[in-house]
Amino acid sequence: MVQDNTGGKTQKLGVVFGGSGLIGGTIVNYFKTKRPGIVDMRAPSSKKVSLKDCTDIRNYLMSIKPDFVINAAITKIDSDPQLSFEVNYAGAINVARAAAALNIPYIFFSSAAALPPGENLKEENHRPLTARLSNYAKSKLMAESTLNYMAEHENLDFSCIRLGIVYGNHDHKIQGFHRLLFSVADESMPCMFTRKGTMHSYTNSRKLPYLIHHMLDNRSEFTGKTYHFVDKDPVELAQLILTIKSHLVVKSPREIYIPYPLARTGKNSVRVILRLLTKIGLKASLPTELMFLNAFYRTQTLSSERLQSSSFIDPMPDETVFTRLPEMIIYYLNRWSHQNLITTFDEKIEAETDTMIEDMFTRNPQSLLDDIHGNATSPFRESNVHPKIFGEIRKH
């Protein structure tokens, strides 16, 4: 517990690892903006606390003694075996060891990668742990197994949340759902690399902090259990792709469904080409999503019945990936265009943006600099500080 600045009342101290990612960042933002004064949420960077270093984890958590800890940190999906093991598995377990020593709740995020294909998969389902699994799937399966063991033998108070395909704003990485959105926006997906009727479960990142908060307030109900956190209704991948295409008003992908054997042959051909390029000194890698090409053609839907039967109430029951598409498209297209990542998209997406500074920065930077020196370099006043520091320039 820590002292807040509201008259001496105490507030809880929480730690989230992976706070710069979509999941961790959403959790941090929730407690800072939606529930201010309740939790002092710390999100140490990997430079301050490396999940690869047992000493870092132990010293940090044992020194600040938080009231709970959340682990949303993962390596890149295509990381090598050593990094996947050290961060996704060993890091998760070392955080659990510190949580057990401090006798505090531990919330761990797992993934549908730990599950086999199929429909209406339950929390008890999981893939067999074999050498053929991806490094990511292996590490998540092993972490789940060890955490369950620690709950039984080491009195660890933990909850595991398995996620489907996560969607939401403020993701700095282009992967998963956002890679799909990017591919359609950039018109780099010529045809449909899936088959009709392939269904998947999706996770709304905006709802996750509400579940975390509820789990922390109701530990006796949620401790030692795994829950699937996905939208109630699964989504057909083909329908989602065509809906994104409709919103963007682009020509690709054509509604031509590429059979899996043909798509797999193309993937193998790309792999061979990349290997040849490395022999002449050009380093390139297979796009991460192609590692999971077979998932585009195989249904995997997660049952949310256990969570629906709990005391948790969905704060936004009508919100789905389809209802959030317009908002996400505007957000990501603006972001990617500013980063010069979108090369072929020509349609104009209108948003509430002020283009005056952008135009001045592009065409007459000296004039913009003079205006800033004249109007926006004086110290902030303690009162009446407007969030737009260039407000006076815009009036100029």
- Secondary structure class of 395 (helix, strand, coil): helix
Tell me: the pLDDT tens digits for 13-36?
Answer: 999 998 888 899 999 999 988 888
| Burial class, 2, CB count within 10 angstroms (exposed 0-12 / middle 13-18 / buried 19+) | middle
Q: Which of 41-45, 102-106, 229-233, 264-268 has the lowest mean pLDDT?
A: 264-268
The residue assigned the tokens 């899936």 is 194
Question: At 373, is the pLDDT very low, low, confident or very high (cuts 50, 70, 90)?
Answer: low
Return the percentage of the chain with pLDDT > 90, whole number: 42
Q: Which of 138-142, 221-225, 292-296, 381-385 has the lowest mean pLDDT?
A: 381-385
Q: What is the DSSP string of 164-209?
A: -EEE-S---S--THHHHHHHHHTT---SB-S-TT-EE-EEETTTHH
Question: At 380, is the pLDDT very low, low, confident or very high (cuts 50, 70, 90)?
Answer: very low
d(CA 392, CA 375): 6
Peptide bond into 234 cis (omega under 30): no
Residue 341: the pLDDT is 74
In the 8-state DSSP scheme, what is residue 144? H
pLDDT at 389 over 70: no
Kindly report the CATH class assigned to 2-170+203-230+303-327: alpha beta
pLDDT at 267 over 70: no
β-pairing, 68-71 vs 165-167, is: unpaired
Residue 273: the pLDDT is 65
Q: What stretch(es) of the chain map to CATH 3.40.50.720?
A: 2-170+203-230+303-327
pTM of the model: 0.81
Average pLDDT over residues 85-90: 88
Tell me: the pLDDT tens digits for 32-70?
Answer: 888 888 889 999 888 888 888 888 888 899 899 999 999
Average pLDDT over residues 112-132: 92
Q: Which of 100-104, 254-258, 286-290 has the lowest mean pLDDT?
A: 286-290
Question: At 385, is the pLDDT very low, low, confident or very high (cuts 50, 70, 90)?
Answer: very low
Of the candidates 86, 79, 98, the residue with the CA atom closest to the CA atom of residue 52: 86
